[in-house]
Structure 1
């Protein structure tokens, strides 16, 4: 089958993508902390991108700000789920890439929740990228979003399972 990897190759690709995405997320957050002033955000690309540093206790669009510990526990469960269920079963290249991106995103935001102020399990996520009329986000959020789009494409358009098998219904034959 096209696009199907061996178990070892799938793990290597998935973990490689996760490490790369996680590293880029950590680096960009450190740069944001070092160089961005929340009171004076730079505007780039003719206003298309604003580098607005915020510390987000909630989830996407700052939802759930009072439930930081719950979001942290959900992220830990999601991390375990991807490592124990999704990545070990993924053999199709697209599913492996999506698994790696999800891992990168979970790890990036979970690291903030575990190790950033105000306290362990209550840490605020560093967000700093803002498009016009949109939420402020980070590289980890981009990884999760790209993974979600890729999974929707694999399921709805490509109709391929984790192992690379087609999920398309076989054509119905008419009874004689």
Structure 2
């Protein structure tokens, strides 16, 4: 019987089975070639840095789009609407009307033009600092909206009359019974609302979630 078993052969146990190519003998080499498989901190850091760069790219893209739309609409308003009658959009409820605003968003604080210019510049610096640890996509969108809006109105403050840092912002969206504003103001408000919602949900710019 033992002789028959020897001739026919029985399956080897896992301990006795010789190593097959690409299995145990190759595992160590593959792990050495791929540090991320062992949870290597350097590999994980590279992955995190790549994700951070993608989020910054989203932030800059959103900011660029918001800024470009704001700049283009203001140029169109100055060229085609300034000094002319308002254009009804939705009856008397919404009009396009060219207005020069020396104050903050929605016409507030007309005597503090320089102060609001400094605030806008400060917001841009703060966003740049936050972006270094940005790993959250919703935060990237929110900060992009803030950045694009801040740059839009800051451009007016710097380059429009009556002078540098005292320039008047071009507003043109005029709802009935509400202050006249522009796309930069809209981007700032939308970005601010999104940040409040993200903070309320406990989501931080670095992607971590905390609960109070």
**TM-score computed with the length of structure 2 as normaliser:** 0.73
Summarize the alignment of residues 162-173 of structure 1 with structure 2, pairs less than 5 Å apart: 162-169=205-212
Match of 1:115 in 2: 159
Report the Cα distance in structure 1 between the residues aligned to 2:134 and 2:52, rounded to whole angstroms. Answer: 8
In structure 2, list runs of 5 or more residues that go unmatched: 1-47
Partner SS, residue 54 of structure 1: strand
Q: What residue in structure 1 maps to residue 110 of structure 2? A: 65
User: Which whole-Å CA distance do the structure 2 matches of 1:89 and 1:131 have between them?
Assistant: 39
Q: Which moved more, 1:134-143 or 1:74-83?
A: 74-83
TM-score after normalising by structure 1: 0.87
Count of residues in correspondence between the two structures: 164
Q: How big is the shift at 1:99?
A: 0.8
Q: 1:168 is paired with a residue of what secondary structure?
A: coil
Seen in structure 2, the aligned counterparts of structure 1 residues 18 and 135 have a Cα distance that, compared at 3 Å, is: same
CA distance in 1, matches of 2:166, 2:191: 25
- Cα distance in structure 2, aligned partners of 1:25 and 1:148: 17
Larger Rg: 2
Match of 2:132 in 1: 88
Indicate conservation of the 8 Å contact 1:32/1:53, yes or no: yes
Q: Which of 28, 33, 41 in structure 1 is aligned with 2:86? A: 41
Counterpart pick for 2:75 among 30, 33, 36: 30
Shift of 1:76: 1.1
Deviation string, structure 1 residues 106-126 (Cα, Å, up to 9, x no partner): 000000000000001100000
Segment drifting more, 127-136 vs 5-14:
5-14
Q: Is the 8 A contact 1:38 1:52 kept in 2?
A: no
| Segments ≥4 residues shifted beyond 3 Å | none
> What is the Cα-based RMSD across aligned positions, in Å?
1.6
- Kindly state the Cα deviation for residue 83 of structure 1 after the two structures are TM-superposed: 1.1
User: Structure 1, residues 10-65: CA drift from partner, whole Å, max 9, x if none?
Assistant: 11100011111100000000011111144510111233321111110001232221
| 1:136 and 2:180 matched | yes
Please, which runs of 5 or more residues in structure 1 have no aligned partner?
170-176
Q: Is the 8 A contact 1:38 1:54 kept in 2?
A: no
Flag the structure with more relative contact order, 1 or 2, with Cα contacts below 8 A and sequence separation at least 6: 1
- Kindly state the Cα deviation for residue 131 of structure 1 after the two structures are TM-superposed: 1.2
2:109, 2:82 → 1: CA distance?
Answer: 25
